């Protein structure tokens, strides 16, 4: 089966500094996987390469078998890959509902249309309402997104990512800065919206990872040092040494 995402010897340098140093990784379609690694390992950079935000220095990236290495972010998104951001990245002056609706428009085939009324685009509006309900943000529908609380903005961030119906979803630290109960709600949401899809998620919370991920990829100093099931990652000496530190933390 064709992997959802496939990286072949991907390298990225900023100036003379290599950040990603030859990553080859295949993410099987329909799995939930986590990308972990210490701060500065290059996790977000890797996301930025996959989604087209940064150009690679060398190597190839394929999404669902098609080469996307030199494509712009919007072209990659149109192939069914969507991402969220570590730092909340929403349309602050537009309403919560409009934020979601904007994320639905392209996938619903409206492109750059100036001959349709959005209010008459029934499927789009229904989809946006459904996503709002899923996010538990229906009560905040008409509020400008900029005035939402932090946790609500993080939920909206995920909502914008999944609203277009992408089947490859990349989430960059979706639970960062959240309380335990908020984290649990978000994880339930992620589990729900990623069902039957491919999920790759950067995460620091080990309990979340071991709970959700089918496989874990460990990135250290720009290299993948392990890519395996949670149990085997837990027992991997190199991972423990490089990243997890004392084994007690794993539990």
Partner 1 sequence: MSTPVATRPFAVAGVARAARVRRYGLWLAAAVVLLLLPQSVRTGTAIAVMNQMGIAVIFALSFNMLLGQGGMLSFGHAVYFGLGGFIAAHVLNMAGRGAIYLPVPLLPLVGGLGGLAFAVLFGSFSTRRAGTVFSMISLGVAELMAASSLIFDKFFGGEEGITTNRSKAPLLLGLEFTRDRQVYYLIAFWLFVATLAMYAFSRTPVGRMANAVRDNPERAEFVGYSQHRVRFVSFCAAGFFAGIAGGLFAVNYEILTAENMGLNASGAVLLMAYIGGIGAFVGPIVGAVVFTFLQSMLSDYTGMWLLYLGILFLATVLFVPMGLAGLLMLHAPVWRARRVGRLLGPYVLTGALGFVAAVGIIGLLEMVHFVAAGRTGTRRLFWLVVAPRTLMPWLGFAALVVAGAVGVRWTGPRAVAAFAEASRPGRP
Residues 104 to 163 in contact with partner 1, rule: CB under 8 A: 105-107, 110-119, 121, 139, 160, 163
- What are φ and ψ of residue 157, in 5° steps? -55, -45
Contact flag: residue 83 with partner 1 (CB under 8 A): yes
Q: Which of 26, 29, 71, 94 binds partner 1 (CB under 8 A)?
A: 94
Q: At closest approach, how far in Å is the CB of 121 from partner 1?
A: 7
Q: Is 54 in the site for partner 1 (CB under 8 A)?
A: no
Using alpha carbons, list the distances in angstroms from residue 5 to 25, 37, 57, 216, 239.
8, 19, 18, 14, 23
CA 208, CA 191: separation in Å to the nearest integer? 11
The single residue among 1, 16, 74, 196 that binds partner 1, judged by CB under 8 A, is: 74
> Per rule CB under 8 A, is residue 234 in the interface with partner 1?
no
Which H or E element spans position 18? strand 17-27
82 near partner 1, rule: CB under 8 A: yes
155/201 Cα distance (integer angstroms): 15
Whether 227 contacts 218, CB under 8 Å: yes
Question: Pick from 84, 80, 188: which is nearest to 134 by CA?
Answer: 188
30 binds partner 1 (CB under 8 A): no
Distances, alpha carbon 35 to alpha carbons 22, 78, 121, 215, 248, in Å: 16, 23, 37, 9, 20
| 193 touching partner 1, by CB under 8 A | no
Q: CB nearer to partner 1: give 2 or 92.
A: 92
| Count of residues touching partner 1 (by CB under 8 A) | 38
Of 107 and 130, which CB lies nearer to partner 1 in the complex structure? 107
- Residue in the block written with tokens 């460990």: 218
Shortest separation between residue 118's beta carbon and partner 1, angstroms: 6
Contacts of 234 (CB under 8 A, 6+ apart): 210, 250
Residue 103 contacts partner 1 per CB under 8 A: yes
Residues at the contact surface with partner 1, assessed by CB under 8 A: 51, 53, 72-74, 77-78, 82-83, 85, 89-94, 98, 101-103, 105-107, 110-119, 121, 139, 160, 163-164
């Amino acid at each position: 089966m064709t992997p959802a995402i496939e990286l072949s010897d991907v390298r990225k340098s900023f100036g003379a500094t290599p950040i990603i140093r030859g990553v080859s990784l295949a993410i099987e379609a329909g799995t939930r996987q986590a990308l972990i690694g210490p701060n500065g390992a290059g996790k977000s950079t890797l996301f930025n390469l996959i989604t087209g935000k940064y150009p690679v220095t060398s190597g190839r990236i394929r999404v669902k078998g098609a080469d996307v290495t030199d494509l712009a972010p919007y072209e990659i998104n149109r192939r069914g890959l969507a991402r969220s951001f570590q730092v909340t990245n929403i349309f602050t002056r537009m309403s919560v509902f409009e934020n979601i609706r904007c994320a639905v428009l392209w996938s619903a085939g409206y492109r750059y249309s100036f001959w349709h009324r959005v209010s008459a685009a029934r499927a789009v509006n229904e989809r946006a309402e459904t996503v709002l309900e899923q996010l538990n943000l229906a009560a905040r529908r008409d509020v400008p997104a900029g005035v939402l609380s932090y946790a609500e903005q993080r939920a909206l961030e995920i909502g914008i990512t999944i609203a277009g119906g992408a089947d490859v979803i990349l989430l960059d630290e979706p639970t960062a800065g959240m309380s335990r109960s908020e984290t649990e709600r978000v994880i339930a949401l992620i589990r729900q919206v990623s069902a039957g899809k491919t999920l790759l998620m950067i995460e620091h919370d080990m309990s979340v990872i071991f709970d959700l991920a089918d496989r874990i990829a460990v990135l250290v100093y720009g290299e993948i040092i392990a890519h395996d099931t949670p149990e085997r990652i837990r027992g991997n000496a190199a991972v423990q040494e490089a990243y997890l530190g004392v084994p007690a933390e794993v539990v």
